[in-house]
Amino acid sequence: MADKLTARSEDYSKWYNEIVLRAEMASYSPVRGSMVIRPYGYTLWENMQAGLDRRFKATGHQNAYFPLFIPMSFLQKEKEHVAGFAPELAVVTHAGGEQLEEPLVVRPTSETIIGYMYAQWVKSYRDLPILINCWNNVVRWELRTRLFLRTAEFLWQEGHTAHATAEEAEAETRQMLDVYADFAVNDMAIPVIPGRKSESEKFPGAVRSYSIEAMMGDKKALQSGTSHFLGQNFAKAFDIKFLNKANELEFAWTTSWGFSTRMIGGIIMVHGDDQGLKLPPKLAPIQAVVVPIFRNDDEKSKVMPVAESLRQQLIDTIRVKVDDREETPGFKFNDWEMRGVPLRIEVGPKDVDKGTVVLARRDLPGKEGRSFVPQAGLVEAVRSMLTTIQSDMLKCATEFRDANTHEPKSYDEFKTIVEDGFARAWWCGDRQCEAEIKEETKATTRCIPLEQPGGSGVCVHCGKPAQEVAIFAKAY
C-alpha cells in the first residue's frame, strides 16, 4: 500500500488494474478468465443492484430465475443468435459421472430458454405482457480478459419481456434504455449517450439494439447497458404464440435488456484519479469515513469517543465507518482516498475542544475540498455535501466528455479526433463503410444517438448522403 499508484497518464491500463487490486474490488482467480469480486467491490454491486431493481419494479417488472444450463439445440434455433455466441460457449459434456446425451451450454444469455418457457406460459393476449427480469451469472469464454471489463464469467441482470404488439415491445425497449440512462446519470454520475446500434454492432438475433455509451478517463468508449427489440425472431424460433382479441393466433413480440458488473469498471474508469478510486456517494459502500486524529494515548482517549458519537449521529442516514486502526492519519487518508470514499470526516483534539470537524471531499483535492463544520447538525451538513459531491462528479464527467467530443469537418480530422476522443459525425449507415473506418482507425460506431440534429449531411468517410449522425470512438 506504501507504493504510489501508477499515474493514470503514464499507463492507463496498469493504473486501472492496480486500483482494482489495491482497493480490494476484485482479485484474479485461479480459473482462467474468472475473477473474484471481493466484499468492497461486491457491496458496490449490491448498491447498483438496489438502484436498478427499484427502477425495474417501479416499471412493473418482477424477478425470476431460469436454468444455468441450456440445451445446445436451443441456441441453434435462432441462426444469428447461435452464430454470434458459438465461439464463446462453455459446454458441459459430462454430469453425474456419465456423458450427456446432449451437451449443455452454460448460459451466455437466456433468450432461448426463456423463449421456450414463455411459449408454455402464453396462451392468450390476457397472458401478455410478461415483464420478467433475472439477476444471475453468465459465461462467455473470452481470450483476453480484464477485471470487471471482460471476464469469462460475469454477473448481470437480463430482462426478458413478451408483448402483444410490436409498438408495445418497442416502447418497452426504449423505456428500459431510459431506465439505464437514468441510473447511469443519477446514481453512477456517468453521462451517457443513448442511441441505436448499427446493424453490425447489434445483438445477435435482435431487430434493433439500443445502448447507452459513456466516455472513460482515457477517452475510449464503454457500452454501458443495452436494450434490444427482438421483433418476432425468438417468438418464431420458440413458438411463443397467443390468441389475440379477434381469436387469431399471433406470434408475440419480445425484448431483452442487460446491465452487468462491467459497469463497475466504468465507474472506476470515469471517476478514478491518480490517488485511486472516486465513488459516487449514491453507490459508495462507505459514504463517509470518520478518521480520528491523535498523537498519543491522551489525545486518543479524548478523540475516540467523539469519533464514535459522530458515527452514531450519522449511522441512520448514511453508510459511515470509523477508522480506529493503529495507523498514522496520513496512511489512513491515503487508504480511504485509494478506496474512493466520497467524504472524510477528520476529528482531532482541537476539533473536540471547538466542537467542530473537518469535512474533506474526495472529489476536490487540497484546501478547496476542506471545510470546518460544527459537530452539532452534522447529519444535515454531511447529507448536503454528499448531494453536492454527487452532482459535481456528474458535472465533472460531463464536462470532460463534452470537451473531448468533436464534430469533424473531414475524414482527416475524424482520424485525429478518434485517436483521442469521440467523433460525432454524419454517417451513411453502410456496413462496408463502417468496416473500412474500423480497419483504418480502430474506431467503431458506438451508437446513432436518439437525439439527432435533423436535416441531412454527407458521410464523413465515403461522402455519400447521410441521414443520421453517429458517435465513433475506440471502445472497450
Phi, psi of 157 (to 5 degrees): -120, 145
In this chain, which of 4, 94, 245, 367 binds a second copy, going by CB under 8 A?
94
* CB 28, min distance to a second copy, A: 9
* CB 26, min distance to a second copy, A: 9
The helix (H) or strand (E) run that includes residue 135 is strand 130-139
Q: How far apart are CA 274 and CA 236, in angstroms?
A: 52
Q: How far apart are CA 380 and CA 378, in angstroms?
A: 5
Which among 311, 305, 315 is positioned nearest to 352, based on CA atoms? 305
Provide the 3-class DSSP secondary structure of residue 473.
Answer: strand
- Asked if 318 is part of the footprint of a second copy (rule: CB under 8 A), the reply reads no
CB closer to a second copy, 30 vs 366: 30
Compute CA distances 222 → 193, 218, 374, whole Å. 11, 11, 42
Q: How far apart are CA 130 and CA 146, in angstroms?
A: 35
Compute how many residues bind a second copy; rule: CB under 8 A.
56
Q: How far apart are CA 364 and CA 388, in angstroms?
A: 11
- Asked if 65 is part of the footprint of a second copy (rule: CB under 8 A), the reply reads yes
Binding part of the chain for a second copy, among 82-90, 294-302, 380-388, 445-453 by CB under 8 A, reads: 82-90
Within residues 193-252, the interface with a second copy by CB under 8 A covers none
Residue 54: all three cell numbers together:
427499484
Which among 340, 373, 351, 367 is positioned nearest to 307, based on CA atoms? 351
In this chain, which of 17, 51, 59, 66 binds a second copy, going by CB under 8 A?
66
- Asked if 132 is part of the footprint of a second copy (rule: CB under 8 A), the reply reads yes
Q: How far apart are CA 188 and CA 263, in angstroms?
A: 9
- Asked if 64 is part of the footprint of a second copy (rule: CB under 8 A), the reply reads yes
CB closer to a second copy, 97 vs 366: 97
Q: Mask 28-57, x = binds a second copy (CB under 8 A)?
A: -xxx--xxxxxx-xxx-xx-----------
CB closer to a second copy, 155 vs 185: 155
Beta bridge partners of 194: 212
Q: Mask 153-172, x = binds a second copy (CB under 8 A)?
A: x-x-----------------
- Asked if 89 is part of the footprint of a second copy (rule: CB under 8 A), the reply reads yes
* CB 149, min distance to a second copy, A: 16
Cα–chain-centroid distance for residue 385?
Answer: 25
Binding site for a second copy (CB under 8 A): 27, 29-31, 34-39, 41-43, 45-46, 62-71, 74, 86-97, 103-104, 106, 113, 116-117, 120-121, 132, 136-137, 139, 141-143, 152-153, 155
